[in-house]
Amino acid sequence: MFLQSFLKMFPPPKFLAMPHIGLDVSDDAVHFLEFGSRFGHNYIKQFKSADLPDGLIIGSDITDQDKLVAILAGITDNKFTGDKKPVKSKKPIYAKVSIPEEKAYLFQTDVPSSSLNSIYQNIESKLEENVPLSAKDALFHFEIIDPIFSDASLAPRGSLRASVSVVPRTYIDHLSTILKSANIVPISFETVPTALARAIIPKNSRETIMIVHLMKHKMGIYIVSFGVVCFTSTLIKNSSPDALIHEINHVSEYWNTKIGTKSIDRVILVGHEVIAYEKEFGVSPQGLSIPISIPNVWSNACDINGYVSPIERVESLNYAVASGLAMSL
């Protein structure tokens, strides 16, 4: 898998490597997390969350900028460092920040198998064919799909297949203003499905995996194939396990109709109140032929054999996006 950052959204790579938190801002809550390193292994250095009042963010649109600034400033003001007392910090906090799936457009396109600059220019020239944004109004990120992935074989000879995420520049500008007002400096932005995939999909995975991301009032369904996000959808959440199984089957059937796609190997369930679903239908729910599991959120970030997380398993499932953002690229 080849990864190319949001070229116009992201600063230079050396800036991305600086210490930072992963900051996940959803409709329901804010979660932040930072990893530290000890003896060559990551550990959770600090973490915190805050529920958001109903109506503050609706469908990923921020309705009260000042209130969100106050919450963000409050959640990042006290730093947790193990068993030490919270320490006040007025220094800017650097963060990689989530972009909700609803704010991003996703499409696939063929690109020339050449330099990064050529690939970037090729995608930029195709933006208006695929999304309702002009190149000057858009910021985008692309990943090259592994040629072994069967859909990539459909690309013309001498070219590659790219999965492209596009975000309105105005949304990033607005969010950046809010963050900076809370003394948070965004060093990069990343879509929720991409951050989740980094946190919970095994590295160098050759599988096609459906991630079901449960939130308080909605759920995201994302398909990741050979490590690349290839499909995303956000739906109103129905708390019934039967309804969840119906949606999983519906998306799976749609995916299987796409020419050249690899069938889904398994489903990963993550997010809000996931444990309740696990208790109700277990790992082999009736009506679902695809294996379903709940991940260890820290499996890609920490040595899970020798590290005990300070965050309980139930709560850790709400930190999956923040974990993916906090991890180094």
- For 76-104, the pLDDT digits (tens) are 874 444 444 444 457 899 999 999 999 99
Range of the domain at 157: 110-165
Dihedral angle sign, alpha carbons of residues 294, 188, 21, 88 = negative
Query: Which CATH number characterizes residue 222's domain?
Result: 3.30.420.40
What residues pair up with 111 in beta bridges, in sequence order? 160
Q: DSSP character for 18?
A: S
Residue 45's pLDDT is: 95
Looking at the fold, whether 207 and 294 belong to one and the same domain comes out as: yes
Looking at the fold, whether 159 and 218 belong to one and the same domain comes out as: no
Looking at the fold, whether 231 and 161 belong to one and the same domain comes out as: no
Using the CB atoms, write b or e for 199-218: b if 16+ within 10 Å. bbbeeeeeebbbbbbbbbeb
Residue 258's pLDDT is: 82
Residue 156's pLDDT is: 56
The angle that helices 169-181 and 65-77 make with each other, rounded to 10 degrees, is: 50
Record the tokens describing residue 1, joined without a space.
């898998």
Percent pLDDT > 70 in the chain is 85
Residue 131 lies in a domain: yes
Residue 140's pLDDT is: 93
Classify burial at 239, counting beta carbons within 10 Å of its beta carbon; exposed 0-12, middle 13-18, buried 19 or more: exposed
State how many domains the chain has: 2
Residue 9's pLDDT is: 43
Kindly report whether the global pTM for this prediction surpasses the value 0.75.
Answer: yes
Residue 210 lies in a domain: yes
Residue 101 lies in a domain: no
Looking at the fold, whether 209 and 282 belong to one and the same domain comes out as: yes
Element at 188 (helix H, strand E): strand 184-191
Looking at the fold, whether 232 and 285 belong to one and the same domain comes out as: yes
Residue 83 lies in a domain: no
Residue 243 lies in a domain: yes
Residue 260 lies in a domain: yes
| Secondary structure percentages of the chain, helix, strand, coil, to 5 | 30, 35, 35
Residue 87 lies in a domain: no
Residue 277 lies in a domain: yes
Residue 275's pLDDT is: 86
| Mean pLDDT across the chain | 85
Looking at the fold, whether 156 and 216 belong to one and the same domain comes out as: no
Residue numbers of the chain with a pLDDT score lower than 70: 1-17, 78-89, 146-158, 259-260, 282-284, 329
Looking at the fold, whether 215 and 266 belong to one and the same domain comes out as: yes
Residue 70's pLDDT is: 94
Contacts of 83 (CB under 8 A, 6+ apart): none
Residue 126's pLDDT is: 95
Looking at the fold, whether 161 and 217 belong to one and the same domain comes out as: no
- Complete DSSP assignment for 130-172: HSSS-GGGEEEEEEEPPTTSGGGGGSPTTEEEEEEEEEEHHHH
Looking at the fold, whether 147 and 235 belong to one and the same domain comes out as: no
Looking at the fold, whether 207 and 149 belong to one and the same domain comes out as: no
